[in-house]
Amino acid sequence: MITFMNNSDSEEEPCNERTSLMSAESPPVPSYQDGLPASEAGEAQAHRKRRTGSSRSPNNIADGDMSDSSVPVRESALENEEEELTLKYGAKHVIMLFVPVTLCMIVVVATIKSVRFYTEKNGQLIYTPFSEDTPSVGQRLLNSVLNTIIMISVIVVMTVFLVLLYKYRCYKFIHGWLILSSLMLLFLFTYIYLGEVLKTYNVAMDYPTLFLVIWNFGAVGMICIHWKGPLQLQQAYLIMISALMALVFIKYLPEWSAWVILGAISIYDLMAVLCPKGPLRMLVETAQERNEPIFPALIYSSAMVWTVGMAKPDTAARGPSQQTWDAAEEGRENHRSPSHADSQMSETRSPVPTRPITSFEELEEEERGVKLGLGDFIFYSVLVGKAAATASGDWNTTLACFVAILIGLCLTLLLLAVFKKALPALPISITFGLVFYFSTDNLVRPFMDTLASHQLYI
């Protein structure tokens, strides 16, 4: 166990920073609101959408140019159109996010219910040193609060460290860190997971086959996540590593600590994104200033989003977007397959600078997708998984938490469409989830059980 703990230490660090990072902003996507006045465009850039939804352009100069040249009459028409389209595509985005979140939760719940390894208590992470095996309730509560404080402070320190690295352009260090952590996840955790699943179903497997399978899985995963690959494969890999991470949390976090940590991390998320000095907000703004996508390896994207500033049908604007493209190519991991499409499309765009703006907008809308940080996936799955594991074997609780989280996600996306600002995705869903978990477990369960034992239906 000690060796495992050591391993988990080193991987916990990147994982912690990864989870807190997940609140990272989506890469800049140019705005289609070319008709907006320059001030609004500037404001739009200052408030970037947090992890989901359409984003505005980072190309300040380009927007300024465009808005100066556009007809004022078209502004209101474009605004109305834009609002309607936002709502219409908002609904599509919601559905696009439901599927991966649901899949992740299904994987986690299925594993929890079948593989007993993840519900056995086999020690704790060193981030939660206080044990919960104490005789009195007060002591247990105190221990869980202390555990939470330690965990949250670790996450805060990691996030601030990452933001500092990003600010001082230590890209190689960040790359190496991310690659190391995803290596650990893809190989070590998958090995353990496969081992436990095979043990549960009593399937005999020899080491060479196992090695081959894990090697292929891990290598393809690394390529898909950090470089280029088919979108759906990449989405599948991101879902799998979120599920694996969530399973680790479920196993190694003691019960009360887990609930308090969930609550605390949603509060932290709220503060880190909305406060002006919050680390995540600074990360977002720095990325915006430099017109770079943020850590594509840590964000789930649901569609072929153009991760680089899309070229405007204006040769003046092609300059900055071309620069960002080059910067991305050399420095960053641009793993989306649309990156190929990007370069091709940006080339096809240049010969059509005279195309009317409306058609450009149409094309952009179709390509726009939604982004959600992987940390959100992980914590949603932790909540549902814990509900499945510890709710006295009751499926009602799990289902209630699932519905609550999805409704929270809907509300968050709605707020996003209304405020058009970067928003944290954790607080609303986690609050709903926690409320529903505790109320269903304590109030609804005895009611439904008594009704079912008399075979009464309401």
Partner 1 sequence: AFFWLVSLLLASLIWFVSVHLSDREDAKLQYGLLVFGAAVSVLLQEAFRFAYFKLLKKADEGLATISEDGRSPISLRQMAYVSGLSFGIISGVFSVINILADSIGPGIVGIHGDSPYYFITSAFLTMALVLLHTFWGVIFFDACEKRRYWCLGLVVASHLLTSGLTFLNPWYEASLVPIFIITLCTGLWAFFTAGGSFRNILKCLSCK
List 80, 122, 216, 315, residue binding partner 1 (CB under 8 A): 80
Give the DSSP letter string of 23-53.
TPPPPP---S-TTS-HHHHHHHHHS---SSS
What the block records as the tokens of 36 is 């907006």
Sign of CA dihedral 349, 352, 356, 362: negative
Q: According to the binding rule CB under 8 A, does residue 83 interact with partner 1?
A: yes
Give the DSSP letter string of 122-152.
----TTS-S-S--SSHHHHHHHHHHHHHHHH
What is the maximum alpha-carbon separation in the chain? 76
What the block records as the tokens of 178 is 């991310």
| Burial call 250-284: b when 16+ CB within 10 Å, e when fewer | bbbbbebbbbbbbebbbebbbbbbbeeebbbbbbb
Minimum Å gap between C-beta 443 and partner 1 is 5
Residues within window 437-456 making contact with partner 1, judged by CB under 8 A = 439-440, 442-444, 446-452, 454-456
Q: According to the binding rule CB under 8 A, does residue 116 interact with partner 1?
A: no
The helix (H) or strand (E) run that includes residue 373 is strand 371-373
Specify the residue, 84 or 326, whose C-beta has the smaller distance to partner 1: 84
Q: According to the binding rule CB under 8 A, does residue 458 interact with partner 1?
A: yes
Q: How many CB atoms lie within 10 A of CB 354?
A: 7
Q: Tell me how far apart the alpha carbons of residues 158 and 161 are, in angstroms, rounded to a whole number.
A: 5
Cβ-based neighbours of 145, under 8 Å, separated by 6 or more:
260
Catalytic residue among 314, 342, 376, 394: 376
Cβ-based neighbours of 51, under 8 Å, separated by 6 or more:
22, 23, 24, 25, 26, 299, 371, 372, 373, 376, 422, 425
Q: According to the binding rule CB under 8 A, does residue 105 interact with partner 1?
A: no
Q: According to the binding rule CB under 8 A, does residue 436 interact with partner 1?
A: yes
Minimum Å gap between C-beta 239 and partner 1 is 23
Minimum Å gap between C-beta 83 and partner 1 is 6
Minimum Å gap between C-beta 115 and partner 1 is 16
Q: According to the binding rule CB under 8 A, does residue 84 interact with partner 1?
A: yes
Specify the residue, 175 or 445, whose C-beta has the smaller distance to partner 1: 445
List 168, 201, 207, 457, residue binding partner 1 (CB under 8 A): 457
Number of residues interacting with partner 1: please give it, by CB under 8 A: 32
Q: How many helices (H) and strands (E) does the chain have?
A: 18, 2
Residue in this structure with the two tokens 């789930």, named with its chain if needed: 300
Phi, psi of 229 (to 5 degrees): -175, 170
Minimum Å gap between C-beta 14 and partner 1 is 36
User: H helices of 300-390, where?
Assistant: 315-331, 338-349, 357-367, 374-390
Residue range at the interface with partner 1 (CB under 8 A); choices 81-89, 171-179, 262-270, 283-291:
81-89
Residue 65 annotated among the catalytic residues of the structure: no
Specify the residue, 223 or 444, whose C-beta has the smaller distance to partner 1: 444
List 4, 88, 142, 341, residue binding partner 1 (CB under 8 A): 88
List 404, 416, 426, 434, residue binding partner 1 (CB under 8 A): 404
List 103, 241, 246, 400, residue binding partner 1 (CB under 8 A): 400
List 87, 142, 212, 275, residue binding partner 1 (CB under 8 A): 87
Catalytic residue among 269, 342, 394, 441: 269
Q: Tell me how far apart the alpha carbons of residues 416 and 420 are, in angstroms, rounded to a whole number.
A: 5
Specify the residue, 322 or 439, whose C-beta has the smaller distance to partner 1: 439
Residue 376 annotated among the catalytic residues of the structure: yes
**Residue 409 to residues 54, 88, 405, Cα–Cα distance (Å):** 16, 17, 6
Residue range at the interface with partner 1 (CB under 8 A); choices 17-25, 97-105, 224-232, 399-407:
399-407
Q: Kindly list the catalytic residues.
A: 269, 376
> Would you tell me which residues interact with partner 1 (CB under 8 A)?
80, 83-84, 87-88, 393-396, 399-400, 403-404, 407, 436, 439-440, 442-444, 446-452, 454-458
